[in-house]
Amino acid sequence: MRRPESIAIVGLGLIGGSLAKRLLVRGIQVVSWDVDPQTRAKAGAAGIDCVSEIEQVCAGEPDLLILAVPLHQMAGIAGALLPNLPARTIVSDVGSVKAPIAALMAELGLASRYVGTHPMAGSEQSGFDWASADLLLGAPWVLTLVPETPRTGVELMMSMVTGDLEGRVHPLSNDVHDASVALVSHLPHAVANELLTVVGTSEFAAVAIGLAAGSFRDGTRVAGTNPRRTEAMLLDNKEWLEAAVRQAIAGLTRFADALAVGEDVAAFFDDPAAIKSRIQTHSRQSGWIDFAVLDDGHWQSELLALGARGGLITAVEPVTDRLQVSW
Amino acid sequence: MRRPESIAIVGLGLIGGSLAKRLLVRGIQVVSWDVDPQTRAKAGAAGIDCVSEIEQVCAGEPDLLILAVPLHQMAGIAGALLPNLPARTIVSDVGSVKAPIAALMAELGLASRYVGTHPMAGSEQSGFDWASADLLLGAPWVLTLVPETPRTGVELMMSMVTGDLEGRVHPLSNDVHDASVALVSHLPHAVANELLTVVGTSEFAAVAIGLAAGSFRDGTRVAGTNPRRTEAMLLDNKEWLEAAVRQAIAGLTRFADALAVGEDVAAFFDDPAAIKSRIQTHSRQSGWIDFAVLDDGHWQSELLALGARGGLITAVEPVTDRLQVSW
């Protein structure tokens, strides 16, 4: 299975910058560009090859082009790159929502040359100043697949993530990805923000915050930080997020109604206890997928079936193309 | 200001047991009782004087009687103790909701001999086996006051908490206490449980939990643990909790509605950011209250005014009766 030898990175923020720094350590040839001249200067000073015009970033015909820019800039950036995009270069991105980007790539005629990805790592900070070669190390990394997804692109990404980044790959459809991050990231952010607002705007706020227990501190830890970045992240996934928020509202309403009329609320506490116990006692199994023998139309469905049951790829055997997997 | 010399403790669970162990270390005379003979035996083995009949627990005419039993047992226990309750003994309790207990004490004719308290400490565990002399050390300790509250009782509790337990005292009305803990403890527990249920019962649960980020882990940390204890704690405060849950539902509904129609949601993120910044930049002030010169009717209102603005008593000067306070 081929490992990428040259990668172009557009956007040197926290994720793009960290990726560039790590790939540099790994001896992979990196050419990059960022819209901000100061960022380009800083990246250059850190040893990262930085071109001054976006059109030049793929001049070396890299194996991979990774777009690490905000979702709302993706169309403009991809459009600017398209005329000079070498035929051999696989396009990828690291955005936190996948269906809209897959749709954009299809519109641009790039569906058969595109692999969507989402590295599940980050920090409270943003920008190249906070980028580090270690940030993405060992992170879960979602690859999103559609029938047109190029096998070469998936192979390059699987090699890079499991090898150069020591991470694990979650192969998912765009919708399963977007629905899942709505549940485990965007909904918790919404709930934490609302919890902080309810307490902070209460007439009892001064007393309540003075008495704050661990449950409040944990429940509001991600609230109120980077409001614009959180807003953008949640708005990018607003359909799935809205559905998740409505689910939470429905459950809380059933609970409040039961409290009001004195109905039994045991299930409200027993259900999450059973879920937590299931999570904690789940014993993972491992196995392998013989990727080499799977032909087109089968390798996608095989990987998606693995991902849909919570499975992931932990390593790639470079000679045999066997994938070590666990679920 | 008088410090308690002898204390009777009824109920040797996590809180009662920890209090008994700490008071023993401090050389205060403790007599205790627990409904469970095994717990009494363990307490005896730990050096805690334990009587076998509840009626005997106040035979020594202690300064304080502290009821450390669940709310639903409070009426039965208080009723059993009433016939043998020495006139000089102040009654207190450590329940996590205060208005219903204050009402019970008034019904029993004990309003002028009762001080409600709530030590804000605990652990995932419960029972005497987990009790420790350190558990309550330094904890915030709410005292609830009504016009009938006995000055002696408040003095004994303030001395014990700030001195023997190295804690701080939050003087509050019953309603302000119950509303505040609904906001910073009971609502976060409800929200965490609902969040875990929404994710765990989703068709995407396996994937979502595999991708779980810090926001989900933080937001569900208190969910699903000790379901019966959490249920009892929340049900004991169900009126205030219901109001708080309705507030959260209203805010989340406004957010979901705005997502649905594409309205501006900036305030949903800016409001908690402003609250968090206010909390983090709040610089506490300190001062003192000359408790000795405050007569009846004034000391209660003075302490309640302090507590209502988030203030607390950090120390008691034993000779001058001055209270060191901060807010």
DSSP conformation class of A164: I
pLDDT at residue A21, rounded to an integer: 98
C-alpha A287 chain-centroid distance: 25
Which secondary-structure segment (H or E) carries A313? Answer: strand A312-316
Picking from B208, B181, B186, B182, the residue whose alpha carbon sits closest to that of residue B197 is: B208
Which residues on B lie below 8 Å from A175 (Cβ)?
Answer: none
- Which tokens sit at B123? 């652990």
ipTM: 0.93
DSSP of B102-164? HHHHHHTT-GGGEEEEEE----S--SGGG--TTTTTT-EEEEE--TT--HHHHHHHHHIIIII
pLDDT tops 80 at residue B62: yes
Q: Do B211 and A180 touch (CB under 8 A)?
A: yes
DSSP of A213-276? -HHHHHHTTTTTSSHHHHHHHHHTTHHHHHHHHHHHHHHHHHHHHHHHHT---HHHHHHHHHHH
pLDDT band of B122, cuts 50, 70, 90:
confident
Does the CB of A175 have a partner CB in chain B at under 8 Å? no
Does the CB of A183 have a partner CB in chain B at under 8 Å? yes
Tell me: the pLDDT tens digits for A82-129?
999 999 999 999 999 999 999 999 999 999 999 999 999 877 778 999
Q: Which residues contact B322 (CB under 8 A, 6 or more apart)?
A: B288, B289, B290, B291, B292, B316
Out of B249, B265, B276, closest to residue A253 by CB = B249
Distance from CA of A189 to the nearest CA of B (A): 7
Angle at B105 between CA B149 and CA A263, to 5 degrees: 125
Angstrom distance (rounded) from CA A17 to CA B102: 60
pLDDT at residue A126, rounded to an integer: 84
pLDDT at residue B209, rounded to an integer: 95
Does the CB of B41 have a partner CB in chain A at under 8 Å? no
Burial bucket for residue B266 (CB in 10 Å: 0-12, 13-18, 19+):
exposed
CB pairs under 8 A between A and B: 312
Interface of A with B in 184-213 (CB under 8 A): 184-185, 187-202, 204, 206-213
Which residues on B lie below 8 Å from A312 (Cβ)?
Answer: 210
pLDDT at residue A297, rounded to an integer: 82
Angstrom distance (rounded) from CA A282 to CA A305: 19
pLDDT at residue A307, rounded to an integer: 97
Amino acid at B59: A
Return the sign of the alpha-carbon dihedral for residues B290, B294, B300, B302.
negative
The SS3 assignment for B326 reads strand
pLDDT at residue B138, rounded to an integer: 93
If one counts every other C-beta atom within 10 angstroms of the C-beta of residue A192, the result is 26
Q: Which residues contact A198 (CB under 8 A, 6 or more apart)?
A: B183, B187, B244, B247, B248, B251
Does the CB of A180 have a partner CB in chain B at under 8 Å? yes
pLDDT at residue B125, rounded to an integer: 78
If one counts every other C-beta atom within 10 angstroms of the C-beta of residue B320, the result is 12
Angle at A161 between CA A155 and CA A164, to 5 degrees: 110
Which residues on A lie below 8 Å from B309 (Cβ)?
Answer: 206-207
pLDDT at residue B92, rounded to an integer: 98
Angstrom distance (rounded) from CA A174 to CA A209: 40
* Least confident among A293-297, B229-233, B269-273: A293-297
Give the bridge partners for B315, in sequence order.
Answer: B324
- Which tokens sit at A170? 């979650």
Give the bridge partners for B172, in sequence order.
Answer: B144
Does the CB of B261 have a partner CB in chain A at under 8 Å? no
Angstrom distance (rounded) from CA A283 to CA A195: 33
Break chain B down into helix, strand, coil percent, rounded to 5: 50, 15, 35
Question: Residues B233, B178: contact at Cβ < 8 Å?
Answer: no
pLDDT tops 90 at residue A318: no
Q: What are phi and psi of A140, to 5 degrees?
A: -65, 140
